[in-house]
Amino acid sequence: MNELYAREMLAETCRRLYDRRLTVSAGGNMSVRVGEDRFLITPSGRNKGLLDPGDMILMNLKGKALSGGKPSVERGFHAALYAANPGTGAVIHCHPLHCVTLAVKGEAVKSALTPEGVLLLGEVPMVGYFAPGSRELAEAVGARAGSRAMILERHGAITQGADLEEAYNRMEELEFQAALQLAAPDAEELPPAEIKKILRGK
């Protein structure tokens, strides 16, 4: 993807996440791939509703900054997901209220309560707690690189997708499923046979 266009799209996605309250204040970090071994990431410590295209920082897959500015402290797990998945074009990490509610309770997200959850998310693993920005967290996320979405215990959520729209849709759906689970705590997931049928009809 053209880097200038990618910068604009990333800033727009950050604004949308902020406007939809999927992230608050300076929390979360978002990135988009711009080449085989390059991606743009949001800067550290900035409000996600106020970012300009020029604020994004160009990185390589080793997590090294190639342009000015201070990249997000979580650049390690973004790099790990791009390195593991050549088809991943965007990664979103944020702290949506209902996802974090489950994350602090240590409860996994049931993504098969509705057909939409099955289709958009698949199984959502819970990554155990490690300090934000740590190598251990980057490794633990990298070990779940096959998942479209995951919950970080006591912390937040991550989604990845072929592009920013897909990663965004998955985050919006993940937060919806978490809210649904909290609103209907006794509801059971669709049975495995039905899940298979839904996936066959894709």
Q: Which residues bind Zn ion (CB under 5 A)?
A: 156
What residues contact 80, with CB distance under 8 A and at least 6 apart? 138, 139, 141, 142, 145
Closest distance of CB 54 from Zn ion, Å: 23
Nearer Cβ to Zn ion (89/156): 156
From 3, 12, 74, 107, the catalytic residue: 74
Find tokens 């990845």 and name the residue: 160
Closest distance of CB 73 from Zn ion, Å: 9
Nearer Cβ to Zn ion (63/156): 156
- Whether residue 74 lies in the annotated active site: yes
Closest CA to 117 of 179, 162, 163: 179
Closest distance of CB 72 from Zn ion, Å: 9
Nearer Cβ to Zn ion (117/156): 156
One-character DSSP codes across 97-137:
HHHHHHHHHTPPP-TTSSHHHHHHT----EEPP--TT-HHH
Phi, psi of 71 (to 5 degrees): -70, 160
Give the residue numbers marked as catalytic. Answer: 74
